[in-house]
Each structure stands twice: as structure tokens, then as C-alpha cells.
């Protein structure tokens, strides 16, 4: 099974990135060896980093390594190192209906938040589809808000297969109920663009300040608190053991503990992980491992992608010549 994930290196990683994308690959167990043509890739995860620039790409790669990603089991590479993806994106755009792209929730959301309505932004689901389809991905772990993109990818794959024959697999979304929407400081989905994120590698003072600024209601200290609407409990559940989470829920239901004390508990859990990852990051930074990793990963990624994109291109040209 081939699992693909992607991230835009637009700045420091936050805990939504960590639990939604970084930790699942780092915890993935290698599957038993089977009779397959590309055992390294088939037993790995393919993590494509989009919109790269040198500094932020290295930073994201370093953060992935520090958070436990094993580059021998996961191919972490830059989008720009596989130019066949943009070739395939153009091919897919020739069968992509305008109506399909106009229905994209993420496009509408970004326009509502003030982003310019560019062609690149409008066509972004096509580029994402190319990222996924070119590697014959079986599964794509996504948040709840990204499920539509996988459905659009499947639609484009079906259109290509109907027109040019069986070219692409139909990938399946994988949504973890616990991490499908990780809340930010204000209870909305955690995102750097919303300014409600808590960074993994933030300094202690800033991290504490952001955790203590989590929005809560006005329930008095002595009164029971609302579990189902609590951002604190949702975030704490990502870090805590079952017993620790059960204890916090009991304290919420019983009352007598203020939100400030619960936020302090959350901060301690978050800071333990942050310190561990930061120490690992220092070691990787000293070895300059990211440059070597990107070089090897790009070769591994290109081993598969040219075959698929050229296959699609050849079938398209054959169709054009046939229909004249």
C-alpha cells in the first residue's frame, strides 16, 4: 500500500501539522515484504512538500526528522524536484470541468478571507490531484476539510480513465476521527493563516502565552465545565494518556477547577513534546542531513513519476492524433 501526504512549507509547523500529518507517518509500521516491483517505495510513505523555497523547505524537513520521521521508510521530497507533476497537472486540466473546480470549498473560503482569485489558486485542486495520482497512491490521510479534494481527484482520475483507458488508481481518503479537525486558540480549525496556531518549536514564553489565551466561556470556577465544547480538552486528548484524559474530564464534570489550571496542564504536556523535538532538531541541524536526504529522496520519487505522467501524455497525444 502506498500512502501519500503533502504539506506547504509556509512557516513554522504547529501542533495541528504534528498530529494531523507528521506523527502518523513516523508511527507507521513497515509492512511485511511482498513480491512487488518497487519494495522501497511500496513500503514507504511519499510526503510531497509543495511551494518550496530553500530555507523553509529545509526547515520543514528538519522538523519532520526531529519529530520522528524515518527517511528510510518515508520518502520526504520537494515538489519542485519532480517536474513531471506539473506536466501531469496540465494534462488533468484538459479534462477538469470548470463547475467541479468552482465548487471547491477551500477556494471559496480563501476568497472570503481576502486572497486574490488567481488562476493558480483556482486550479490548485488539479495540482493536488496530480501530486496524488502520479504515484499511484492508494491512501491519502487528510483532515475533514480536505476530503472534497480527494473526491475531486477521484473524479479527474475517472475522466482520464474513461477517455484514455485505465491510467490511474482511485485513491481513498483516510480521516482519523481524533485529528480530522484540530482546533486552534479560538476553537476554529488550527491554521497559520487564521493566526490561531500553537507552534511545535515556539519558545517557552510565547508557547505558554498562546496556550493561556485559548478562548473559553464564562463558567465560574466552582461550576462543572462543558466537555463537548472545550478546546482545552480536545487538545489535551492529543497529548495525554487515557488515564490523564479521564482525570481531566472528571475534573471538568465535577467543577472546582478553573480553566487557567487546565491550560497549565495542557502547556506542560505540549512543552514536553516540544523540548524533545527541539533537542532532536539540534542534532540533525549539526549533521546537515536534509541536503543529502532531499537528493536521495528526489531520485526515489522520480523513479515512479515519469512512468505515469509519460503514460498519460502518450495516451492523450494518441487520442488527439486519432480524432484529428
Is 192 in the active site? yes
The catalytically annotated residue of 144, 159, 169, 189 is 189
Q: Alpha helix locations (H) across the chain?
A: 15-17, 23-27, 39-42, 54-66, 84-93, 98-102, 105-112, 119-122, 124-133, 147-164, 204-212, 231-239, 242-254, 259-287, 289-302, 305-323
Is 189 in the active site? yes
Nearest in space to 210 (alpha carbons), one of 64, 12, 68? 12
Report d(CA 146, CA 303) in Å as an integer: 28
* CB atoms closer than 10 angstroms to residue 261: 12
The catalytically annotated residue of 51, 192, 249, 269 is 192
Is 110 in the active site? yes
Half-sphere exposure of 167 (CA within 13 A, CB side): 28
The catalytically annotated residue of 51, 110, 169, 269 is 110
What residues contact 211, with CB distance under 8 A and at least 6 apart?
198, 263, 266, 267, 270
Which residues are designated catalytic? 110, 189, 192
Amino acid at each position: 500500500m502506498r500512502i501519500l501526504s503533502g504539506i506547504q512549507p509556509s512557516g513554522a509547523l504547529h501542533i495541528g501539522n504534528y498530529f494531523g500529518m507528521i506523527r502518523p507517518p513516523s508511527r507507521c509500521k513497515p509492512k511485511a515484504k511482498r513480491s512487488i516491483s518497487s519494495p522501497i517505495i511500496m513500503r514507504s510513505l511519499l510526503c510531497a512538500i509543495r511551494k518550496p523555497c530553500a530555507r523553509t523547505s529545509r526547515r520543514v524537513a528538519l522538523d519532520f526528522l526531529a519529530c520522528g520521521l524515518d527517511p528510510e521508510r518515508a520518502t520526504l521530497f520537494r515538489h519542485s524536484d519532480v517536474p513531471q507533476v506539473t506536466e501531469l497537472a496540465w494534462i488533468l486540466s484538459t479534462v477538469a470541468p470548470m463547475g467541479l473546480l468552482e465548487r471547491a470549498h477551500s477556494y471559496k473560503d480563501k476568497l472570503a478571507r481576502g486572497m486574490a482569485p488567481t488562476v493558480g489558486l483556482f486550479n490548485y485542486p488539479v495540482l493536488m490531484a496530480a501530486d496524488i495520482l502520479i504515484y499511484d497512491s492508494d491512501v491519502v490521510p487528510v483532515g475533514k476539510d480536505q476530503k472534497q479534494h480527494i473526491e475531486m481527484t477521484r473524479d479527474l482520475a475517472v475522466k482520464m480513465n474513461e477517455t484514455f483507458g485505465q491510467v490511474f488508481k482511485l485513491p481513498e481518503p483516510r480521516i482519523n476521527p481524533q485529528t480530522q479537525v484540530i482546533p486552534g486558540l479560538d476553537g476554529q480549525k488550527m491554521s497559520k493563516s487564521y493566526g490561531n496556531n500553537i507552534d511545535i518549536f515556539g519558545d517557552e514564553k510565547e508557547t505558554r502565552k498562546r496556550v493561556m489565551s485559548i478562548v473559553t466561556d464564562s463558567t465560574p470556577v466552582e461550576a462543572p465545565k462543558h466537555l463537548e465544547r472545550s478546546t482545552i480538552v480536545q487538545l489535551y486528548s492529543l497529548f495525554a494518556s487515557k488515564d490523564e484524559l479521564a482525570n481531566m474530564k472528571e475534573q471538568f464534570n465535577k467543577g472546582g477547577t478553573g480553566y487557567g489550571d487546565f491550560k497549565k496542564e495542557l502547556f506542560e504536556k505540549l512543552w514536553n513534546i516540544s523540548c524533545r523535538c527541539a533537542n532532536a532538531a539540534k542534532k540533525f541541524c549539526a549533521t546537515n542531513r536534509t541536503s543529502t536526504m532531499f537528493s536521495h529522496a528526489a531520485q526515489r520519487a522520480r523513479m515512479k513519476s515519469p512512468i505515469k505522467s509519460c503514460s498519460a501524455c502518450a495516451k492523450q497525444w494518441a487520442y488527439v492524433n486519432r480524432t484529428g
